[in-house]
Amino acid sequence: MRHWSRSAPALLARLMLAALVGLALAGTARAGGRVALVIGIGAYQNAPALDGPVADARAMATALTRLGFDVMEGYDLRLDALRALVGAYAARLDGAGVGLLYYAGHGIAVAGENYLLPTDAVLRNEADLGFRAVSLAQVLRPMQRADRTSIAFLDAARPNPLAADLLRLGRIRPGAVATGLAAVAVEGTPRTLVGLSAEPGRTAPAAPPGRTGPYTAALVAQVGAPGLPLDAAVERAGAAVARATDGAQRPWFATSIPAAFSLDPAAPVAAAAPPAPAPAIRSAPAPAVPAIRPAPAAVPPPPPEPVAAAEPELKLSHKERVEAQLRLKAVGFDPGGASGAFGPGTHKAVGDWQGSRGLPRTGILDAAQRAALWEQSESGYRKLLAARAAAVKAKAAAAQKAGEAPPEGAAPREGGAAPEGGGFLDNLLKAVRR
């Protein structure tokens, strides 16, 4: 294992150490090997110190070493050392078949993006995030390749006083800061699993002093268990955390990794496969599964047909119904279209989403569930809208190039007026329904 810490006496010494270690690690990992980056940060200078992250990270590093990972470790890192370690890890990934990130410490979610906070983090405004924190996307980007399995576990869903300071000072856009961490979309990212210690938008209770946090303890106990696929191990860990906290903490994960993949060192190494067409996204604890994956269970019966008056109670407009269908798709529960009509496909998607959160599968959204769906899906929904808008724009450009009239819902050219019948979102929704 390789250790990085904040013990260097001066910035220059830390940077020189980072450069030397980076050069030492620049060689490629053994073909198909496993490389992990484990980070624990608790000695915050501008926020109350955290007791557990360093000990939790050490426990995870020990477990990953037993599973055959080449583990790079960093504890209580300042910003410069954290960035240097992330850079060295990216270089070390070259040639690896599996890359894994574990982070314990403070995190913050702003505008749907998650950031890892070093010991010297100071956030005076939203712009500071780009200079005083490390984005999760920056760490994941070099991990995610079609021929590599990428795994990330974030034990960082803690109440964050630095986020509270941003809100108190009023130096951030209203609604930009979320409680806990934001959901991480894996749709379109091959062979990726991302796990959070609590559901998106929620925080986890603090572990008792001197004890390993329940999320890390459950992962250490389950991940890499003999014969147990990774997604089943993470589900088991989530169920264990929910039991240990009496339901106060419910871990979440999203995955596009093939179901048979396992971190068990004795498991056969499967050849890289194309990503699943739709990632599985789960947040509620699942019942324990046996060590060997069982045959596929029978498809559960569809949710009951809704009572006629139940849905109108929400008073959803047609546009809001379309938005609800798109948001379900954004979190991995595809209703089979976005027409605004709530048919069997939408009710099944709602029921599956409810089941993923441990709710009764009624197939009908109530007001509280609607709010929860909107909060959980915000980041993925925005990305989905952007992708669809780009598709509409490309279609309009192709039609114009061919000398045809632009398709309905196409965005106007710069300086032009919006098409009659509504603004951009209305026209985008028309294009989605076609």
The answer to whether the Cα torsion of 197, 202, 208, 210 is positive or negative is positive
Beta bridge partners of residue 282, listed in sequence order:
253
Mean pLDDT of 234-238: 94
Nearest to 91 by CA among 156, 2, 191: 2
Tokens of 219: 């992962």
Give the tens place of pLDDT for each residue, 253-282: 999 998 889 998 876 654 444 444 444 444
DSSP-assigned letter for residue 97: S
Q: Which CATH class is domain 2-282?
A: alpha beta
Band of residue 148 on the pLDDT scale cut at 50, 70, 90? very high
pLDDT of 223 over the 60 cut: yes
Per-residue confidence (pLDDT) for residue 68, from 0 to 100: 94
Contacts 24+ apart (CB under 8 A), 337-343: 337/433, 338/429, 338/432, 338/433, 339/433, 340/433, 342/306, 342/311
Percent of the chain with pLDDT over 90: 36
pLDDT of 170 over the 50 cut: yes
pLDDT of 2 over the 60 cut: no
pLDDT of 322 over the 80 cut: yes
Nearest to 77 by CA among 141, 159, 17: 17
pLDDT of 423 over the 70 cut: no
DSSP-assigned letter for residue 108: E
Mean pLDDT of 90-97: 93
Domain boundaries, the chain: 2-282, 311-433
Residues 103 and 85: their CA atoms lie apart, in Å, by 13
Residue recorded with tokens 């370690």: 85
Phi-psi category of 346—alpha, beta or left, where left has phi over 0 and alpha has psi -120 to 50? alpha
On the 0-12 / 13-18 / 19+ scale of CB atoms within 10 A, 205 is: middle
**Pair 205, 249: CB distance under 8 Å:** yes
Per-residue confidence (pLDDT) for residue 425, from 0 to 100: 54
Per-residue confidence (pLDDT) for residue 56, from 0 to 100: 96
Beta bridge partners of residue 259, listed in sequence order:
none
Mean pLDDT of 152-166: 81
The pairing of beta strand 70-75 with beta strand 34-40 = parallel
Mean pLDDT of 390-394: 86
**Pair 349, 327: CB distance under 8 Å:** no
Going from the C-alpha of 250 to that of each of 127, 332, 371, the distances in angstroms are: 31, 18, 18
Going from the C-alpha of 42 to that of each of 6, 63, 121, 156, the distances in angstroms are: 12, 20, 12, 11
Other beta carbons less than 10 A from residue 241's beta carbon: 25
Phi-psi category of 95—alpha, beta or left, where left has phi over 0 and alpha has psi -120 to 50? left
What is the pTM for the complete model shown?
A: 0.60
pLDDT of 1 over the 60 cut: no
Beta bridge partners of residue 116, listed in sequence order:
107, 134
Mean pLDDT of 163-167: 65
**Pair 230, 259: CB distance under 8 Å:** no
Per-residue confidence (pLDDT) for residue 136, from 0 to 100: 95
For the chain, the average pLDDT equals: 77
pLDDT of 339 over the 50 cut: yes
Per-residue confidence (pLDDT) for residue 176, from 0 to 100: 66
Least confident of 180-194, 257-271, 288-302, 308-322: 288-302
Per-residue confidence (pLDDT) for residue 287, from 0 to 100: 38
Least confident of 142-146, 292-296, 350-354: 292-296
Between 127 and 306, name the one with better pLDDT: 127
Residue recorded with tokens 């795994």: 151
Band of residue 285 on the pLDDT scale cut at 50, 70, 90? very low
Residues 220 and 265: their CA atoms lie apart, in Å, by 14
Between 431 and 91, name the one with better pLDDT: 91
pLDDT of 309 over the 80 cut: no
Per-residue DSSP letters for 353-416?
Answer: HHHHTT----S---HHHHHHHHHHHHHHHHHHHHHHHHHHHHHHHHHHHTTPPPPTTPPPPTTP
Mean pLDDT of 217-237: 93
Band of residue 332 on the pLDDT scale cut at 50, 70, 90? confident
DSSP-derived 3-state class of residue 320: helix
Going from the C-alpha of 297 to that of each of 65, 290, 294, the distances in angstroms are: 34, 13, 8
Contact residues for 131 (Cβ-Cβ < 8 A; gap 6+): none
pLDDT of 184 over the 90 cut: yes
The pairing of beta strand 34-40 with beta strand 98-104 = parallel
Band of residue 168 on the pLDDT scale cut at 50, 70, 90? low
Mean pLDDT of 15-44: 68
Per-residue confidence (pLDDT) for residue 417, from 0 to 100: 38
Going from the C-alpha of 343 to that of each of 58, 310, 325, 347, 362, the distances in angstroms are: 50, 14, 11, 6, 14
Per-residue confidence (pLDDT) for residue 37, from 0 to 100: 98
Amino acid found at 51: D
Per-residue confidence (pLDDT) for residue 365, from 0 to 100: 84
DSSP-assigned letter for residue 190: T
On the 0-12 / 13-18 / 19+ scale of CB atoms within 10 A, 131 is: exposed
DSSP-derived 3-state class of residue 153: strand
**Pair 83, 126: CB distance under 8 Å:** no
pLDDT of 421 over the 50 cut: no
Residues 121 and 172: their CA atoms lie apart, in Å, by 16
Amino acid found at 95: G
